[in-house]
Each structure stands twice: as structure tokens, then as C-alpha cells.
A and B are shown apart, each in its own frame.
Chain A
Amino acid sequence: MNESELKEIIIAELAKVAPGSDPAALDLDDNLREGLDIDSFDALNFFIAMSERLHIDIPEKDMGRLNTMNEILQYLLALKV
């Protein structure tokens, strides 16, 4: 999957956990938790959705350091999903 496809999926899943927000409007390096006002439950639900959609495991220690669109993109690209 290429970068723009992944980005689309990330935005779609973020929009689900943060209804009413516009994840696409954020900069690639903005902190998503702050920018979208999502809490740890929302964040976990986002990672659950991503892992199920892309059939990957995202270990807990990784979840904590994935805070921006760029960080998530690079992480997923490295996994070659």
C-alpha cells in the first residue's frame, strides 16, 4: 500500500473515533491526540481499527510513540502493509 492510500485509511479511522473533527486539516507533524482532542480510549480504539483493517499487530510500546500522522505513516510503511 502506498503512502497516499495509507493516509486515506488513517484519516478515515481517525474521523471515526473523533466524530465532528477534520483530521485531514491537521499538519503531518501535529500531535493528533491534542489536535483532535482524543483520549486514551479513543486512541486505543483507533489502533484496534487500524490493526484489524491492515491485519497487523501494533504492540503497546509502539502505540505510545505514534502521535502524529507522519509517525504513523512511517511506522506503517516500514511494516510494508
Chain B
Amino acid sequence: MSEFKMPSLGADMDAGTLAEWKKKSGDPVHRGDIIAAVETAKGVIEIECFEDGILDQIFFQAGQEVPVGQVLATISSEEEFGKSKPAPEAQKPPETAKTEKIPETVKPAAEVVAEAMKAAIPQPPATEGRIRISPLASRMAIELGVDLRQVKGTGPGGAIQRVDIERAAQAQKAAPAPAPAMAEPLKPEIKESPAPAVEKAAPPPVEAKAEPATEAKKAVDFQTAMRSAIAAAMSKSNRDIPHYYMETSIDMTNALRWLEEENLKRSIRERLLPVVVLLKAVAKSLTEVPELNGFWIDGSHQVSEAIHIGFAINLRQGGLLTPAIHDTDMKEFDELREAMNDLIVRTRGNRLRSSELTDATITVTSLGDRGVEKVFGVIYPPQVALVGLGKITPQPWAVNGALCVRPVLVATLAGDHRATDGHKGGLFLEALNRNLQEVEKL
């Protein structure tokens, strides 16, 4: 049996809201299958699983905010399926602090949650010891405004389970409650809870979900979340990474001529944009100077064998994402064209996969469409380099001692000086130039 956890989709992510399960308990799952969708500061991301098996126990439901590293579900083999019905204590404790790894010996989940519950929901001063309750049930209780003192647990050891909360919520609804339990039943009470210190330890607030957000409010929330995600990553980069920068001008005559001839043979749907060729050339050059492709983690330089170029895509509503184009160097032009088109459509349509957000080994930003001649980027940590591509413009160019006009691209490199030196950066730009002179060989 293995655990399917809330992944970290960026250095800035503490928690994600489970948007949807794409599979249900008992469904067979395979490596690469999308089994859930998670709402993050970067939009809704589809989460893949990394093994084969059967989706077994599910610990959280859509709408719940889940800290990074928390077990969302278990994946079992056929033999194991359905056999492990652990008591609530056996479940992984909810991570109460930030994003650090969960130590295996944290207080049992039930205890932590019960303490938080006590803070969140007014309790009589003397209760009969701690309440045994599953994490899911405790969150539901907060959401539904169920008073735990009135709930009789039917789980192992009298632990309160989800069904108990559901039953209690039904009963509360049926009873002539003083206030209509329809809209925002509990939220004000939680807010008034006079225990701000403990509130931190409480499960992540679910109140945002409780009120129907208007489209405008959602847009503002998204903007705010996106800006703070970018702010966190870029501040970290400027704080931690000693950048060095360099640029080189590349004559694009040969590349554009090849592209023009190639596109004449193609239908409009199959046409290649210059950026497809550029990305392929960057990938090829990285195979020659692999040191720029990888990470700086815990004081050491880790070169990545796989080349997953993170391609900066701006979003119409503001902000940007840099999803990874997996194995860019292995893709033929057509494959790359399709992959990029697909990625742009899915990025803007909010349908990215978790691996695409986390796997990039280097970033490429291309601002040529916006008329920018050259761009010096800020490295996305823990990556160690960023390649900037500008607009291809006609420029005076010396050939064999004579002046002529050529289409010229300025390519830049921002490198992490902890990982590489300017010499390596220079080798890379030189390779890029050479590869763009013979794009037919890419």
C-alpha cells in the first residue's frame, strides 16, 4: 500500500484545496493517471499518481483545504484492497504547521484535531477527556457546524466518524434550530472564537468555501493569490541566487529560411512557429552544456539528465505560469508543436497537471511577440538558469567584412553563479547560436 499525498506545486505552496476526485475508491489507477484536481494559487491543477494499483481509502473530500504532504488517499494492490481499515489514529496526522515534512511521531491526528476543535467550537469547561474523531469528520463538523458534544461516535473505540457527523448534521437540520441552517451556518461563530492563538493550529479554514463567491471576487482572489505566489518565488530567487547575465546576437537567416520552406509543405494546422524551433535548439544546446539544466538544492548542484523546459506562458487574467514540456530534447518538431499548443491551451484553460508544474529543469521566456528585443530573467528556484528570447528584428550585420541587414535574435542567459560560471554560460549561448545555424539537424 502506498500513500497519495498533496504535492508541493512550488516553493510558495503551503496547502491546496481539493477541487475534485477524478477517481473513486475501488477504481483501478495507473501511473500517470489523473486522479484528483487541486485548486492552488496557480489555478486548478490536475494531480497524477505515480504507480499502479487500486484507489483505496480517501481521506479528504472536495472543498477541503489540505496541507502539502498530507495523505489524500491510499493506493493498494489488488490483494491489499479494502483490507486495511485503520482506526482513525492510524491515519496520518494532519499537518498543522507549514510545509515541513511530517514526522512520523506527531501526536495522533484525533488528538490534534480535537484540541483544535475545542478552540474553534465553544465547549463546556470540563469535558470528559479528549474526543476521538477522524480528521475528515472533524473538518466536516466545523463545516457543518456540528456540536461534537452531541455526537456519539460509532467508530473503533467510540471515535467519531464521517457518518456520525452526517447523521448529527441531519438531526440538527430537522430540529427547530434557532437560526436557519441554510446560509453560512457556522462561519461567524468560528470567527468570534476567542482563541486566536489556537486558531493557528486548527485545520485550515474552510470558510472560504462556505460562501458562494461571485465571479468578480474569484477573479480578485485569483489575482491576489497569483501575485503572492510570484512574489514569493521571485523574492526568494533574488535573495538567494547570485545571478550572472549574458547575451548574444544570433543571425536567424538560415533558421527562418528553413522554416519558411518547411511551412510551405505544411497545412496551416501543421505550421511551425519560430518559437518551436527555438525551444528545440535550446534543448539541444542543453545536451551539450548540461550543467545549466538542473537544480541547486541544499547547497549542492544537481544536474538533471532529463530536459524539461519550463515555458513561460502569460495568463490573460494576469500573472504567468511556467509549465514543463517534458523531454523537450527528445521531441520531433511536430511533437513539440503539438505539445506546446496543448500546453498553452491547458494553461489558459486551467487544466495543468501536477508534474507539469513541478518538473521543469530550466525556464525559457520568450517575449518576442510583445516586441521586446531582449529579456534578462529571474531564475525560478531551485532551477539554476533561465534563457530569455527576444523579438527577431532586422539588424545591421557584418558578413565577410561587408555590412548587410539580417534578421537577428538576441538570446540571453541568467545563470546561478553558485552552480555555474560565466564560462559555461558562454558555451551554452555559443552552442545555441551554432544549433540555430543548422536547424535542419535539430
Contact present for B316 and A37 (CB under 8 Å) = yes
Residues of B within 8 A of A21 (CB): 316
Q: How far is the CA of A59 from the CA of B267 in the complex (A)?
A: 9
Judged by a CB distance under 8 angstroms, whether B441 is at the interface is: no
Judged by a CB distance under 8 angstroms, whether B268 is at the interface is: yes
Q: How far is the CA of A45 from the CA of B342 in the complex (A)?
A: 12
Using A20-B317, A33-B369, A60-B260 as known contacts, say yes or no to A41 and B273 having CB atoms under 8 A apart. Answer: yes
Contact present for A41 and B316 (CB under 8 Å) = no
Contact present for B263 and A60 (CB under 8 Å) = yes
Using A41-B344, A60-B260 as known contacts, say yes or no to A20 and B369 having CB atoms under 8 A apart. Answer: no
Chain B CB count within 10 A is highest, among A19, A41, A48, A57, for: A41
Minimum C-beta distance from B423 to chain A (A): 34
Q: How far is the CA of A64 from the CA of B363 in the complex (A)?
A: 27
Residues of B within 8 A of A60 (CB): 260, 263-264, 271
Residues of A within 8 A of B316 (CB): 18-21, 37
Contact among A41, A48, A61 for B268, CB-based, below 8 A: A48
Q: How far is the CA of A40 from the CA of B268 in the complex (A)?
A: 13
Judged by a CB distance under 8 angstroms, whether B340 is at the interface is: yes
Q: How far is the CA of A19 from the CA of B345 in the complex (A)?
A: 12
Residues 35-51 of A, flagged 1 when their CB comes within 8 A of B and 0 if not, give 00101110011011001
Judged by a CB distance under 8 angstroms, whether A77 is at the interface is: no
> Looking across the interface, which residue of chain B has its beta carbon closest to that of A45?
B341
Residues 314-325 of B, flagged 1 when their CB comes within 8 A of A and 0 if not, give 101100000000
Residues of A within 8 A of B341 (CB): 41, 45
Residues of B within 8 A of A19 (CB): 316, 348
Q: How far is the CA of A40 from the CA of B366 in the complex (A)?
A: 11
Contact present for A41 and B340 (CB under 8 Å) = yes
Contact among A18, A20, A44, A57 for B273, CB-based, below 8 A: A44
Judged by a CB distance under 8 angstroms, whether A58 is at the interface is: yes
Contact present for A40 and B275 (CB under 8 Å) = yes
Contact present for A44 and B271 (CB under 8 Å) = yes
Residues 361-386 of B, flagged 1 when their CB comes within 8 A of A and 0 if not, give 00000001110000000000000000
Judged by a CB distance under 8 angstroms, whether B149 is at the interface is: no
Chain B CB count within 10 A is highest, among A18, A20, A39, A51, for: A39
Judged by a CB distance under 8 angstroms, whether B269 is at the interface is: yes
Q: How far is the CA of A61 from the CA of B340 in the complex (A)?
A: 22
Minimum C-beta distance from B72 to chain A (A): 31
Using A19-B316, A40-B275, A41-B341 as known contacts, say yes or no to A48 and B369 having CB atoms under 8 A apart. Answer: no
Residues of A within 8 A of B274 (CB): 40
Residues of B within 8 A of A59 (CB): 264
Contact present for B369 and A51 (CB under 8 Å) = no
Residues of B within 8 A of A40 (CB): 273-275, 368-369
Contact present for B369 and A58 (CB under 8 Å) = no
Contact present for B273 and A51 (CB under 8 Å) = no
Using A20-B316, A60-B263 as known contacts, say yes or no to A39 and B268 having CB atoms under 8 A apart. Answer: no
> Looking across the interface, which residue of chain B has its beta carbon closest to that of A38?
B369
Residues of B within 8 A of A37 (CB): 316
Residues of A within 8 A of B273 (CB): 40-41, 44
Minimum C-beta distance from B311 to chain A (A): 11
> Looking across the interface, which residue of chain A has its beta carbon closest to that of B262?
A60
Contact among B260, B268, B370 for A58, CB-based, below 8 A: B268
> Looking across the interface, which residue of chain A has its beta carbon closest to that of B273?
A40
Name the interface residues of A12-44: CB closer than 8 Å to any CB of B. Answer: 18-21, 33, 37, 39-41, 44
Contact present for A47 and B369 (CB under 8 Å) = no
Chain B CB count within 10 A is highest, among A44, A45, A58, A59, for: A44
Q: How far is the CA of A33 from the CA of B116 in the complex (A)?
A: 53
Minimum C-beta distance from A74 to chain B (A): 20
Residues of A within 8 A of B263 (CB): 60
Contact present for B268 and A57 (CB under 8 Å) = yes
Minimum C-beta distance from A34 to chain B (A): 8
Minimum C-beta distance from A66 to chain B (A): 13
Contact present for A39 and B271 (CB under 8 Å) = no
Residues of B within 8 A of A39 (CB): 314, 369-370
Contact present for A47 and B340 (CB under 8 Å) = no
Minimum C-beta distance from B289 to chain A (A): 27
Residues of A within 8 A of B368 (CB): 40
Can you offer 10 A-B residue contacts whose CB atoms are under 8 A?
Answer: A19-B316, A19-B348, A20-B316, A40-B368, A41-B273, A45-B341, A48-B268, A48-B269, A60-B260, A60-B263
B-side residues, CB < 8 A to A, are 260, 263-264, 268-269, 271, 273-275, 314, 316-317, 340-341, 344, 348, 368-370
Top 6 closest A-B pairs, CB basis? A39-B369, A60-B263, A40-B369, A51-B268, A40-B273, A41-B344
7 A-B pairs besides A41-B341, A44-B268, A60-B263 with CB distance below 8 A are: A19-B316, A20-B317, A39-B369, A57-B268, A59-B264, A60-B260, A60-B264
